[in-house]
Amino acid sequence: MNKHVDTSRLSGWEQPEPTTDFISKHLDEIDTWRSVREQVAEIAIANSWNKAEVTRRSGMKEGTFSQWFSGTYLGRLDNMNRQMRQWVDAVFEAAAMPAIPTSPAFVKTRISNEITKTLQWAQMTADLVMITVGAGFGKTATCRHYRATHPHVFHATISPHTKTVHGMLVELAAELQIHENNPAKLTRAIGARLERIGGGSLLIIDEAQNLVDDAINQLRHFSDINQCGIALVGNEEVYSRFAAQRNGKSYAQLKRRIGKHLKRQKPYAEDIAAYIAAWGVSDPECVRLLTGIGLKGGALGQIDKTMKLASMIALSEDRSVTVKDVQDAWRNRDVEDLG
Domain boundary assignment for the chain: 7-96, 110-264, 269-333
CATH number listed for the domain at residues 110-264: 3.40.50.300
Average pLDDT over residues 206-227: 91
Eight-class DSSP state of 9 = G
pLDDT at 196 over 70: no
- 139-194 pLDDT, tens per residue? 999 999 999 999 999 999 999 999 999 999 999 999 999 998 888 899 999 999 99
Percent of the chain with pLDDT over 90: 64
CB atoms closer than 10 angstroms to residue 102 = 8
Percent of the chain with pLDDT over 70: 88
Per the prediction, the chain carries an average pLDDT of 87
Q: Which residue has the higher pLDDT, 206 or 238?
A: 206
Closest to 299 (Cα-Cα) out of 262, 260, 329, 336: 336
Helix (H) or strand (E) holding 157: strand 153-157
Q: Residue 317: its pLDDT value, please?
A: 82
- 242-281 pLDDT, tens per residue? 555 455 555 566 666 788 999 998 999 999 999 999 999 9
Q: Residue 333: its pLDDT value, please?
A: 81
Lowest mean pLDDT among 94-103, 111-120, 290-299, 327-336: 94-103
Helix (H) or strand (E) holding 131: strand 128-133
The Cα 252–Cα 231 span in angstroms is 18
171 in Cβ contact with 162 (< 8 Å): yes
pLDDT band at 339 (very low <50, low <70, confident <90, very high): very low
Residue 327 is which amino acid?
Q
Q: Which residue has the higher pLDDT, 168 or 93?
A: 168
The whole-angstrom distance between residue 120's C-alpha and the CA centroid of its chain comes to 25
Q: Residue 46: its pLDDT value, please?
A: 86
- 97-131 pLDDT, tens per residue? 666 788 888 999 999 999 999 999 999 999 999 99
329 in Cβ contact with 293 (< 8 Å): no
Q: Residue 137: its pLDDT value, please?
A: 92
238 in Cβ contact with 129 (< 8 Å): no
| pTM, entire model | 0.70
Residue 176: φ, ψ to 5°: -85, 0
Q: Buried b vs exposed e over 254-282: b needs ≥16 C-beta within 10 Å? A: beebbbeebebeebeeebbebbbebbebe
Closest to 308 (Cα-Cα) out of 324, 289, 321: 321
The Cα 252–Cα 250 span in angstroms is 5
